[in-house]
Amino acid sequence: MPADRREVATGAPGDNAFSVVDSEPVYTGKVVSLRRDVVRMSDGELAVREVVGHPGAVGVVAIDENDHVVLVNQYRHPLRARLDELPAGLLDVADEPAVDAAQRELAEEARLSADRWETLIDLNPSPGFSDEAIRIFLARDLAEAPHPDDFVVAHEEATMTVRRVPLAEAVQAALDGRITNAAAVAGVLAAEVARGRRWAGLRRADAPWAGRPMQAGSGGS
């Protein structure tokens, strides 16, 4: 049984535990894996669930002094389309703190650094079939930064573009369907709420993340 997931997960108070009684790996790829779990349900019945394993990811809502948000635009092959997104990437370095990964991705994709980092939101984009978890950070007090020395521009990133748009405009783009990337939609909407609260109540950048996969995978952003 894979070591990066819990054998038992509990539901709402009063529910019986759901337990994994068997697990069979089906496929392991560059980024994702697929396994077939046999789960004992709360009523005692057994059910088969196919689960896509994912190493987890980080995204960054980078806000400048004019309340503009940094968006990247890149080709996404499964959709055969270019999407506006947040600077983001996989947790593909073993034991790397999530905020360090976010800082690296911001430098790689937007050539920016930030003096202020906070945890904005945590996401499970597709909990019905995947254990993918994404932490979205808020980055402020931005400054220009060079690409990391080991960064190589290739594949989709070779045609990636970067721009800054007013946060309100990004929110409207999410509401009218021009921004559809799940992390970007959630991130800009959460940032709008947080701005309305004068950025109060956000968690530290190194806040505990119980939902983070325990073992990093490998792959691209």
Question: Would you say how long the chain is, in residues?
Answer: 221
Buried b (16+ CB within 10 A) or exposed e, 63-94: bbeeebbbbbebeeeeeeeebbbbbbbbbbee
- Contact criterion met (CB below 8 Å) for 53 and 33: yes
Q: Tell me the CA end-to-end span of the chain in Å, nearest whole number.
A: 27
Q: 162 and 110 in contact (C-beta within 8 Å)?
A: yes
144 is catalytic: no
Q: Which of 156, 157, 169, 192 is catalytic?
A: 157
Q: Where are the beta strands (DSSP E) in the chain?
A: 8-9, 18-28, 33-40, 46-53, 57-62, 68-76, 81-85, 88-90, 112-123, 134-144, 161-166, 203-204
Q: Which residues are catalytic?
A: 157
